[in-house]
């Protein structure tokens, strides 16, 4: 049995759409390279999680990597923290954090949120350092910088619970929320108390920090509060290599997807010009994905901006970006498909009308020597369902690929 075959999974975030007048950005885009891939492969449509379930990018990616999100997903906080570079441990409690601006008298919970991004501040490391040095809690904590005004908070210690509420009111003009236990449980009560102490102590330090005094003098909003949301407990999750006997490489500029890679014990591959946004270097990412196949058994190549255009409701922008990606996919056609299994798909549909993810199934193509090539000649929502894969679930995808590269274990005798 050949043990050195590889899998390259290309996930174009939210590329598919809910049609408007029978058109989608993908069906309208000129995509000669994706169409070539569809022509060479077996095609189908896929419910990333299950029919009618709207996937998040995090739960969608977990499913595509063969991890049941209903079992392993415990909230966005742990994944963001891992993506921000914190080495999280099972049992840690993690939050997503925004630096925000609050105004008013009294303690933090009497104050009103006037900006949830503190004027989109990005220089937050001195503030984070001051909090790490100045705040003492009854448990260990880590505050880590994310992109822009974002950060992640991890609480580590005994008797911690994630059955607690957010402190971010998520609405401008409302007071900062006090963290409350969601259940009548000693650990939840203890954790809520710790979080509230953290809120007060960090606010005090931020309010008086020289960087904020400077901002005030310049007429900028002070970053004087940390707003917490997305709490979750870091799950016990078997690593990708433990589960599949292959090392995982993730090529993505998006904190959330990088976090998935980290939580599964994968390696994050850095690429020059990779931004996680609309200005990312598609060419360099494709190049690096192909190069990474030398060292890794499984390479996940992720593009984000298609989803962002979807959330913006921008049909033309999404179509144009799809064409931009397509142009750079040409090197994939040169792969040796007796050795590499190429998968082209999405983590969910993002509707330009709903400006949100929808449960409409996504197109999926698998190319490998030995697949039953079908008649589909275009990579689009309207053609994919005519293919030989028919309709599958995201959790099945990796099993199909493992079978094709002869890594599947036989069930039974
Ligand atoms: Zn997504
Ligand atoms: Zn999205």
Q: Which ligand is nearest to the CA of 311?
A: 2
Kindly give the distance from the C-alpha atom of residue 370 to the centroid of ligand 1, in angstroms, as a whole number.
30
Is position 247 within any domain?
yes
Kindly give the distance from the C-alpha atom of residue 253 to the centroid of ligand 2, in angstroms, as a whole number.
14
Is residue 285 over pLDDT 90?
A: yes
Kindly give the distance from the C-alpha atom of residue 404 to the centroid of ligand 1, in angstroms, as a whole number.
26
Kindly give the distance from the C-alpha atom of residue 13 to the centroid of ligand 1, in angstroms, as a whole number.
5
Kindly give the distance from the C-alpha atom of residue 278 to the centroid of ligand 1, in angstroms, as a whole number.
14
66: left (phi over 0), alpha (psi -120 to 50) or beta: left
Q: Which ligand is nearest to the CA of 347?
A: 1
Is residue 79 over pLDDT 50?
A: yes
Confirm if 282 and 12 have CB atoms less than 8 A apart. Answer: no
Q: Which ligand is nearest to the CA of 16?
A: 1
What is the pLDDT confidence band of residue 3, given thresholds at 50, 70 and 90?
Answer: low
Is position 207 within any domain?
yes
Mean pLDDT of 234-238: 94
Q: Which ligand is nearest to the CA of 308?
A: 2
Position 147 scores a pLDDT of: 84
Is position 409 within any domain?
no
Confirm if 203 and 192 have CB atoms less than 8 A apart. Answer: no
Mean pLDDT of 285-292: 98
Q: Which ligand is nearest to the CA of 48?
A: 1
Is residue 50 over pLDDT 70?
A: yes
Position 25 scores a pLDDT of: 98
Is position 382 within any domain?
yes
Are 104 and 195 members of one domain? yes
pLDDT over 90 percentage in the chain: 96
pLDDT over 70 percentage in the chain: 99
Are 110 and 225 members of one domain? yes
Mean pLDDT of 100-122: 95
Are 141 and 207 members of one domain? yes
pLDDT tens digit sequence for 378-391: 999 999 999 999 99
Cα–Cα distances in angstroms (integers) from residue 226 to residues 200, 202, 205, 207, 298, in the given order = 10, 7, 11, 11, 38
Kindly give the distance from the C-alpha atom of residue 165 to the centroid of ligand 1, in angstroms, as a whole number.
25
Position 4 scores a pLDDT of: 86
Kindly give the distance from the C-alpha atom of residue 307 to the centroid of ligand 1, in angstroms, as a whole number.
6
Number of domains in the chain: 2
CATH of the domain at 51: 3.40.720.10
Kindly give the distance from the C-alpha atom of residue 18 to the centroid of ligand 2, in angstroms, as a whole number.
14
Kindly give the distance from the C-alpha atom of residue 109 to the centroid of ligand 2, in angstroms, as a whole number.
31
Kindly give the distance from the C-alpha atom of residue 335 to the centroid of ligand 1, in angstroms, as a whole number.
26
What is the pLDDT confidence band of residue 134, given thresholds at 50, 70 and 90?
Answer: very high
Are 245 and 367 members of one domain? yes
List the structure tokens of 413: 């005798």
Looking at 232, 267, 288, the residue that finishes a domain is 232
Are 48 and 178 members of one domain? no
Looking at 194, 214, 232, the residue that finishes a domain is 232
Kindly give the distance from the C-alpha atom of residue 60 to the centroid of ligand 1, in angstroms, as a whole number.
7
Is position 410 within any domain?
no
Is position 411 within any domain?
no
Is position 333 within any domain?
yes
Are 209 and 288 members of one domain? no
Is residue 2 over pLDDT 60?
A: no
Is position 413 within any domain?
no
Confirm if 160 and 191 have CB atoms less than 8 A apart. Answer: yes
Are 276 and 313 members of one domain? yes
Q: Which residues touch 89 (CB under 8 Å, ≥6 apart)? A: 156, 234
DSSP labels, 114-156: EESSGGG----HHHHHHHHHH---SSEEEEEE-STTEEEEEEE
Position 94 scores a pLDDT of: 97
CA-CA distance, 174 to 172, in Å (whole number)? Answer: 6
Are 109 and 228 members of one domain? yes
pLDDT tens digit sequence for 23-42: 999 999 999 999 999 999 99
Are 282 and 140 members of one domain? no
Shortest CA distance to 122 belongs to which of 147, 85, 151, 97?
Answer: 147
Residue 364 dihedral angles phi and psi, to the nearest 5°: -140, 140
Are 221 and 300 members of one domain? no
Kindly give the distance from the C-alpha atom of residue 75 to the centroid of ligand 1, in angstroms, as a whole number.
15
Kindly give the distance from the C-alpha atom of residue 129 to the centroid of ligand 2, in angstroms, as a whole number.
31
Is residue 308 over pLDDT 70?
A: yes
Are 262 and 384 members of one domain? yes
Question: Which range of residues forms the domain containing residue 185?
Answer: 81-232
Looking at 205, 232, 259, the residue that finishes a domain is 232
In 123-275 the beta strands, taken as DSSP E runs, fall at 140-145, 150-156, 225-233, 248-251, 267-268
Is residue 61 over pLDDT 50?
A: yes
What is the pLDDT confidence band of residue 1, given thresholds at 50, 70 and 90?
Answer: very low
Q: Which ligand is nearest to the CA of 307?
A: 2
Position 244 scores a pLDDT of: 96
Are 184 and 300 members of one domain? no
pLDDT tens digit sequence for 190-221: 999 999 999 999 999 999 999 999 999 999 99
């Amino acid at each position: 049995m050949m043990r050195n075959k590889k899998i390259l999974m290309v996930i174009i975030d939210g590329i598919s759409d809910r049609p408007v007048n029978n058109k989608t950005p993908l069906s309208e885009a000129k995509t000669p390279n994706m169409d070539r891939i569809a022509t060479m492969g077996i095609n189908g449509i896929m419910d990333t999680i299950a029919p009618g379930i709207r996937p998040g990018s995090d739960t969608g990616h977990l499913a595509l990597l063969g991890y049941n999100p209903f079992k392993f997903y415990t909230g966005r906080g742990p994944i963001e923290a891992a993506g921000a570079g914190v080495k999280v441990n099972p049992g840690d409690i993690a939050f997503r954090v925004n630096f925000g601006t609050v105004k008013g008298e009294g303690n933090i919970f009497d104050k009103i949120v006037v900006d949830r991004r503190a004027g989109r501040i990005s220089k937050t490391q001195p503030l984070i350092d001051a909090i790490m040095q100045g705040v003492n809690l009854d448990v260990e904590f880590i505050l880590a910088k994310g992109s822009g005004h974002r950060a992640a908070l991890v609480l580590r210690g005994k008797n911690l619970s994630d059955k607690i509420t957010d402190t971010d009111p998520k609405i401008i003009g409302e007071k900062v929320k006090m963290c409350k236990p969601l259940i009548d449980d000693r650990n939840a009560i203890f954790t809520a108390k710790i979080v509230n102490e953290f809120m007060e102590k960090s606010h005090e330090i931020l309010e008086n920090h020289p960087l904020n005094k400077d901002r005030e003098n310049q007429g900028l909003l002070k970053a004087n509060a940390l707003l917490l949301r997305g709490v979750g407990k870091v799950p016990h999750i078997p690593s990708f290599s433990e589960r599949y006997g292959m090392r995982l490489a993730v090529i993505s500029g998006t904190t959330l997807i990088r976090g998935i890679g980290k939580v599964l014990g994968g390696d994050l591959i850095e690429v020059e010009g990779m931004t996680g946004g609309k200005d990312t270097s598609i060419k360099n990412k494709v190049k690096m994905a192909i190069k990474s196949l030398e060292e890794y058994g499984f390479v996940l190549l992720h593009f984000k901006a298609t989803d962002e255009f979807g959330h913006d409701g921008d049909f033309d922008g999404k179509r144009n970006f799809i064409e931009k990606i397509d142009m750079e996919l040409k090197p994939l056609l040169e792969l040796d498909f007796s050795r590499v299994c190429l998968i082209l798909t999405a983590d969910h549909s993002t509707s330009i009308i709903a400006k949100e993810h929808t449960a409409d199934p996504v197109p999926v193509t698998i190319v490998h020597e030995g697949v039953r090539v079908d008649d589909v000649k275009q990579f689009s929502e309207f053609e994919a369902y005519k293919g030989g894969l028919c309709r599958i679930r995201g959790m099945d995808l990796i099993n199909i690929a493992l079978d094709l590269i002869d890594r599947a274990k036989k069930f039974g005798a």
